Copies of this chain bind each other. A is one copy, B any other.
Amino acid sequence: MSPERTIMNIANHQFRLAVRPVGMPKCSDWNYAEEPVRQPGDGEFLIKVLQISLDPAMRGWVSAMRSYMPPVGIGEVMRALAAGRVVESKNPNFAVGDHVYGMLGVQEYAISDGKGLSKVDTRLAPLPKYLSVLGMPGMTAYFGLLETGAPQSGNTVVVSAAAGAVGSVVGQIAKIKGCRAVGIAGGAKKCQYITGELGFDAAIDYKNEEVTVGLRKNCPKGIDVYFDNVGSDILDAVLAQINLGARIVICGGISQYNNTTPVKGPSNYLSLLVNRATMKGMLVTDFMDRYPQAAREMAGWMAAGKLKSREDMVDGLQNFPEALLKLFTGENFGKLILKVAEA
């Protein structure tokens, strides 16, 4: 049996966008489709998708709004970062057995010419780490905090969604850089995790306490850097307590992603004027050429026990629609990953 024939007989299951979600994405917004795996052409290779990264940004990718990349088209395979293993190759740079990371989509198999993919070494770190600390969320935290937030030793750094894949890394890097790290998270378990396990100086449980009061108590010297993943009332509460020259990193606004009403803008934005503060948006892909250097530094911190991460694995490609929602309900705990096959 030639490899070609073998491949042709494999079914590739996929989630394709059926309609643009309105508000919270529903199961019926997706088509669970099947197509035969095609033979890779010259320069191409076939990847078996093992683990799919579920990220808040995916909500933006299916919206028709003008954004930093074109929206996923109706009928197209849902865009997703994922890690996989090369199972067939006509590309000299990618050998069968290599592990790769990149935009592979919500499906079981992907064909690639290698563009935009990076190889990952599973002997250095287990595969899920390449989707979390050493992947897009970790890079977002690293460059968002260090480049856009520009913390100085002794600064107070506040981060929202602090138990999440990005927020948890932001707080730990803040500690490494000599800052006071204060995390905002939902629920006692997450708050205990970031202070107990990850070494944050303080946690504010937005589900059980007034964020304004919690900030006043835990940021006695005011706020110098705020890394915002959520927007809305929490952003407003922070704006009211920033210091002169504070930097606010706009990384996300997850509280607003499924809105069917207009986004709630930050009412306290004039605090930027009073405090000559900066609010700046960041997008991790702008730093792509510096990922390898950042990954090396972060791997060093991991080896030294200074940088920990937690992955929240959901099993089975077919569970994609429900698993995605965990991001928006605050249900997930750590980097949310959809496991498609054994690594």
Contacts and interface: CB of A to CB of B under 8 A. Distances in A.
Nearest to A239: B265
A316 interface: no
Contact of A263 (B263, B267, B278): B267
Interface stretch (A17-25, A31-39, A245-253): A245-253
A97 to B, nearest CB: 38
B268 A263 contact: yes
A233 to B, nearest CB: 11
Given A265-B265, A278-B278, A270 B283 contact: no
A250 B269 contact: yes
Nearest to A278: B280
B264 A266 contact: no
Taken together, the copies of this chain in the complex come to 2
A86 interface: no
Contacts of A252: 273
B281 A272 contact: yes
A269 B269 contact: yes
Contacts of A275: 68, 281
A264 to B, nearest CB: 7
A270 B256 contact: yes
A60 B134 CA distance: 47
A72 to B, nearest CB: 16
Contacts of A265: 236, 264-269
A120 B253 CA distance: 49
Which 4 A-B pairs have CB atoms at the shortest separation, nearest pair first? A265-B265, A273-B281, A272-B281, A265-B266
12 contacts: A66-B240, A66-B274, A231-B270, A250-B270, A252-B273, A253-B269, A256-B270, A270-B281, A272-B281, A273-B281, A276-B283, A278-B281
